[in-house]
Amino acid sequence: MSNTAKTLTPELVKKLWLAFILLVLLMGTSYVAITGYFANKHNQETTQRLNADVANHVIAEKFKDASPFLADGSVNKPLFGDLMHDMMAVNQGIEVYLLDDTGEILYSVVLDHSDSAPAKRVSLAPIHAFITDRGEKFVLGDDPRNTAEQKIFSAAPYSVDGRNGFVYIILAGKKFQQVSSTLMGQYFAKLGLGAFLLTMLFSTLIGVLAIWFLTKNLRAITGTVRRFQEGDLTARVENPEDSDISILANSFNAMADSIVGNMDKMQSVDSLRRELIANVSHDLRTPLAILKGYIETLQMKRDTLSENERQKYLQITHDNVDKLSKLINQLFEYSKLEAEQVAPVKEPFSITELSHDLIAKFRVLAEHKNIALQLDNPEANCMVHADVSLVERALQNLIENAIKYTEPNGKVTLSLKKEGANVEINITDTGTGIPVNEQPFIFDRYKQVNISTEKQGSGLGLAIVKKIMELHDTTITVLSKPKEGSSFIFNLPAYQVS
Ligand code: ADP
């Protein structure tokens, strides 16, 4: 556990935590702000509903014995002084205004006169709405002492001495506001602190769990990657499909497989290369040593050698030069095929015609060994779709081997047979055959059976054939019995002449 925990970079965990804390703070602040807003609204609505009748009450109580206006039409200030007295005793948070029927403020009773310029009038629309709904609905009206704000109020119409207007009472007056904001500040501090602590506690718990779950699979993958990096090439993410990040798990497993595959390939290519160099140097050294020996003999014993001996030595020299050049050509050809530098140019051609040409070419060699070389072709003309020069090369190697490994008076047959969409090509000889246990390896480079025999070649002929088959997406099969003979069989796609 402690080991896997270390496998996640602290940066990622730090970022996750940072994001989480930001989220918690944002949530906490929003929670406090929303609660505050609704608590304030609730408080205002309650206050307005509770005090909806205050204005009516003022009219009923104060205006029943005395008019709010004096005989000269001015406001009855002593009456309102009396009202102020009551307010000081009962509710310091309210402010009372006497309005005419246009909303103009005729007189105001406020306890705190610190405002520089109170408004001269208020809008009548909220007052009408309030009176119509009899204080049942939450309505905000103009605050003459703070025109930027709307306040809860109570209002009631009066009609005295032929004068109409309204008693307009701001319920959350300046004093109310001061007390309220002090209390609200404290309330918010407590609410904020409580909410913050609770949110922090729960979100830390949820956060720890969430981050643990979120990073569980990531930790497993990082652990595996690290093991792989430290040299454990077998390290793979277990059950990648179960992971939340299965794409990553699968990609890592696939990447690890391909890295290991490539490493194996490189190792085998490397060992093959070393084998090739060792074999090539050996193969080149032998004919070169023979050549050197005979040339030295010819030079040193120039005067003592008979004409016959000289001819024999020259013939041996010539044969070895042939062998060397053949070997070099085969090596060159093979390395080009192996390096995948040869791209087959596939085209339709007559395999029958090609077989006739090859039989004619090898006839002399076969006759030389008294071997019957024949073409068994019941079809008039077999067409295939393949690279003509590569197929010719493969057939050459196979016929050459068949003649090479067949004793005099034997037979080598090249037969062509249409098999569905393919043409089957079969080179059969009555030669030495190949032991069953050797058969799987004869297509490998330098694999030679009967090494001791004089017929030894380069060991590259069949390896080249195999590469040519691979380029044609086909395979070659060998059927062979020692002392009875061998058959090499392969298919090429037939070309249908329309
Ligand atoms: P080489 O140059 O030695 O012939 P090849 O790659 O052509 O190399 O063949 C590999 C080995 O397979 C040969 O050494 C030989 O032992 C065996 N082989 C190939 N063709 C035949 C055949 N037609 N009959 C018997 N043995 C064969």
Return the CATH number of the domain spanning residue range 247-335: 1.10.287.130
User: With 90 as the cut, is the pLDDT of residue 137 above it?
Assistant: no
Nearest C-alpha neighbor of 392 from the set 362, 413, 422, 421: 362
Distance from the CA of 460 to the center of ligand 1, in angstroms?
Answer: 9
Distance from the CA of 449 to the center of ligand 1, in angstroms?
Answer: 7
Structure confidence by residue, pLDDT tens digits, 164-211: 899 899 887 777 777 777 877 787 778 778 877 887 788 788 888 887
**Ligand 1 pocket mutation, candidates 434, 436, 460, criterion most atoms within 8 A of CB:** 434
pLDDT value for 397: 95
Q: Are 62 and 77 in contact (CB under 8 A)?
A: no
* Backbone angle region of 406, left / alpha / beta, with phi > 0 → left and psi within -120 to 50 → alpha: beta
Average pLDDT of span 74-90: 79
What CATH architecture does domain 344-493 belong to?
2-Layer Sandwich (3.30)
pLDDT value for 403: 96
* Burial label, 427 (beta-carbon count in 10 A; 0-12, 13-18, 19+): buried
Q: Whole-prediction pTM value?
A: 0.52
Structure confidence by residue, pLDDT tens digits, 2-34: 444 455 566 777 887 888 888 878 887 888 788
Are 52-170 and 344-493 equal in CATH topology? no
**Ligand 1 pocket mutation, candidates 401, 413, 439, 489, criterion most atoms within 8 A of CB:** 401
As a whole number of angstroms, the distance between CA 327 and CA 287 comes to 10
Q: Are 175 and 202 in contact (CB under 8 A)?
A: no
Structure tokens at 101: 């029927």
What CATH architecture does domain 52-170 belong to?
2-Layer Sandwich (3.30)
Query: Is the CB of 458 inside a 6 Å radius of any atom of ligand 1?
Result: yes
Q: Which atom of ligand 1 is nearest to the CA of 485?
A: 24
Distance from the CA of 54 to the center of ligand 1, in angstroms?
Answer: 121
Query: Is the CB of 173 inside a 6 Å radius of any atom of ligand 1?
Result: no
Distance from the CA of 326 to the center of ligand 1, in angstroms?
Answer: 16
Q: Which atom of ligand 1 is nearest to the CA of 443?
A: 6
Q: Which atom of ligand 1 is nearest to the CA of 433?
A: 25
In the chain, domain spans: 2-39+182-214, 52-170, 247-335, 344-493
